[in-house]
Amino acid sequence: MSLNTTDLEAVRAGARERLGHTTTVEAVEELRQHLLGRSGELTTLLKGLGSAAPEERPELGRLANEVRTEVEDAIGERLAALRDAALDDRLEAEALDMSAPGRPMPVGHLHPVMTLMRDLREIFHAYGFEVFEGPEIETEEYNFELLNIPADHPARDLWDTLYVAEPGTAGTDQGRPAEDGTILRTHTSPTQIRAMRALEPPIRVLTPGRCFRYEAVDASHGFEFFQVEGLVVDRDTSLADLKGLLEEVARALYGRDVETRFRPGYYPFTEPSVAFDIGCLVCGGEGCAACGRSGWMTILGAGMVHPTVLRAGGYDPDEFQGYAFGMGPDRMTMLRHGIGDIRLFFSADRRFLDQFPDGR
């Protein structure tokens, strides 16, 4: 078939039209093969140049070259445009918005017992108390003797003690308590002696800390628990000061309307000794299972520091007096939230802990 102008113009127009409809690089490559490949439309036409009439040949040759160049250029431009567009799309898809807020990181929160102890620290801080900490591993001397509890005194039975074993005998049949009397403290009261020996009066200290007892664990007894001890030593302290202070603390913690009462108690290291109760927060004082039908709950023991204990601390009881108290923050936290089982505190169960997102 011989080459003619009409066919060339038709290929030129067709190529432009079909190029305009391509939307992918692959489609353009396919079209390039279709037009310019070895047996492509335009290639086939150009092969017919030789059989054209000699006088038409120069003009036809010029036009054929023009069409081929134009088609090649158009294909190149279309490819470039499609590649640009694809890049734009990718850039948009992968765009990083530097102003977007970050993903929130989960942060933990305080254990409700820790929160209560911090609240106590805040409250007592307002009354001039500073924190004075003591060791969790104590000696029988500090835990008992210096607190007016001699070795053979029946009051020792009040504290079921975990003894630290003599080196080499732990876990064996011969396991026996360490000769130097090392134990796990059963209460924070030994810190009273340490504070009196370390500080100068007037003393106003608060001792939060972990305590340990050889307990049969149940809903209201843990073998590991917390106490917050308080001690005041000065020249002119009285039971009235102690009562006024504790009533204010109860109001700060449980609200202005909380009912309070003092009962006589017994502790070897205080004389007189009292127990401090608050009106049951579960039943409002009516009497329920939580308060043993009494309408009251004991949250601490307290009293005037025994003269023997003052002497052990290095003071003359005729010159200095003091009062002390020992609070049970686990119990106090149970009251605060109406928690029925002390074992939940150490269960590390997120379903329990997550109920106190701000520690309260």
Q: Is 326 in the site for ligand DAH (CB under 6 A)?
A: yes
Q: Which stretch binds ligand DAH (CB under 6 A): 2-10, 114-122, 323-331, 335-343?
A: 323-331
Smallest separation (angstroms) from ligand DAH to the CB of 229: 5
Q: Is 325 in the site for ligand DAH (CB under 6 A)?
A: yes
Reading phi first (left if > 0) and then psi (alpha if -120 to 50, else beta), residue 176 is in beta
Q: Is 301 in the site for ligand DAH (CB under 6 A)?
A: yes
Site for ligand DAH in 37-96 (CB under 6 A): none
Q: Which stretch binds ligand DAH (CB under 6 A): 12-20, 55-63, 126-134, 297-305?
A: 297-305
Q: Which stretch binds ligand DAH (CB under 6 A): 37-45, 86-94, 199-207, 321-329?
A: 321-329
Smallest separation (angstroms) from ligand DAH to the CB of 269: 6
Smallest separation (angstroms) from ligand DAH to the CB of 338: 24
Q: Is 332 in the site for ligand DAH (CB under 6 A)?
A: no
Smallest separation (angstroms) from ligand DAH to the CB of 243: 13
Site for ligand DAH in 192-211 (CB under 6 A): none
Q: What backbone torsions phi and psi does residue 250 show, to the nearest 5 degrees?
A: -60, -40
Q: Is 112 in the site for ligand DAH (CB under 6 A)?
A: no
Interface with ligand DAH (CB under 6 A), residue total 11
One residue of 7, 229, 277, 330 binding ligand DAH per CB under 6 A: 229
Q: Is 303 in the site for ligand DAH (CB under 6 A)?
A: yes
Q: What backbone torsions phi and psi does residue 270 show, to the nearest 5 degrees?
A: -135, 150
One residue of 324, 334, 335, 342 binding ligand DAH per CB under 6 A: 324
Cβ pair 186, 211 in contact under 8 A: yes
Q: Is 189 in the site for ligand DAH (CB under 6 A)?
A: yes
Q: Is 161 in the site for ligand DAH (CB under 6 A)?
A: no
Q: Which stretch binds ligand DAH (CB under 6 A): 70-78, 81-89, 170-178, 318-326?
A: 318-326
Site for ligand DAH in 242-281 (CB under 6 A): 267, 270
Closer residue to ligand DAH in complex, CB, 45/309: 309
Distance CA 305, CA 271 (A): 6
Distance CA 161, CA 267 (A): 17
Smallest separation (angstroms) from ligand DAH to the CB of 158: 7
Distance CA 297, CA 275 (A): 10
Closer residue to ligand DAH in complex, CB, 260/270: 270
Strands 182-184 and 137-139: antiparallel
Q: By beta-carbon distance, which residue lies closest to ligand DAH?
A: 326
- List residues binding ligand DAH (CB under 6 A): 187, 189, 229, 267, 270, 301-303, 324-326
